[in-house]
Every structure is written in structure tokens, then in C-alpha cells.
Amino acid sequence: MRKLKILIKPLLVLSLCFASTGLLAETLSIINQPENSTDGVLRPERGMKMQQVKADYGIPLNINPAVGEPPITSWVYEKYTVYFESEYVIHAAVHH
């Protein structure tokens, strides 16, 4: 019984400490930020075709020719560059 009393106080203190950590949590809400960008820049998503990118995002400022095998092409827009493998988007990187 005495061992139980010795354990109750530390357990009570620990449980109060853990219970209070939830009170310190903050909620971060991000409004109107596109899902595919951490910088707030809406850009093409992986798997889109070149024709779809051009229709949705317009004509790029510069088109770099295909390099390598498989062919990798890049289209440069004002705020990002889109990389294609053959005709599909593989990545869109925001300029810094």
C-alpha cells in the first residue's frame, strides 16, 4: 500500500504535465493557398500533358529543347519552371 502512495504523486504530476501541453498548442490555418505550392504559386501538377499546361497556364516565356534519354524538356514561366519527360509534367519548380 505504501508503494502505491509513493507512485501516485509522481504519476499525478506527470499526468497534469501531459494534460497541460494540449493547452499550449496553436492552430495554424492557411487560407487561399493553392494545395500544390508552399510559396503560394499555382503551378502545373505532375502528370499533366504539355497541351493541358499550355491551355491552363499560357505560353511559356522560354522553351528549352529536350535533353537526354528519356527526353527532358523545360518550359520557363515568370514564377516557375516546368519540367517534362516526353510530354508529361514531372516537376514544377518555383523560382527564388
pLDDT digits (tens, 9 = 90+) for 44-65: 999 999 999 999 999 999 999 9
pTM higher than 0.85: no
Residue-wise pLDDT for 66-84, tens only, equals: 999 999 999 999 999 999 9
- Name the domain count of the chain: 1
Of residues 85 and 33, the one with the higher pLDDT is 85
Residue-wise pLDDT for 28-47, tens only, equals: 544 444 456 667 889 999 99
Burial of 10 (0-12, 13-18, 19+ CB in 10 A): exposed
Residue 68, phi-psi category: left (phi > 0), alpha (psi -120 to 50), beta (remainder): left
User: What pLDDT, on the 0 to 100 scale, is given for residue 96?
Assistant: 85
pLDDT at 26 over 50: yes
Of residues 96 and 36, the one with the higher pLDDT is 96
Instruction: Determine contact, residues 64/76, Cβ cutoff 8 Å.
Output: yes
Expressed as residue numbers, the domain containing 71 is 2-30+39-94
Distance CA(58)–CA(40), nearest Å, equals 18
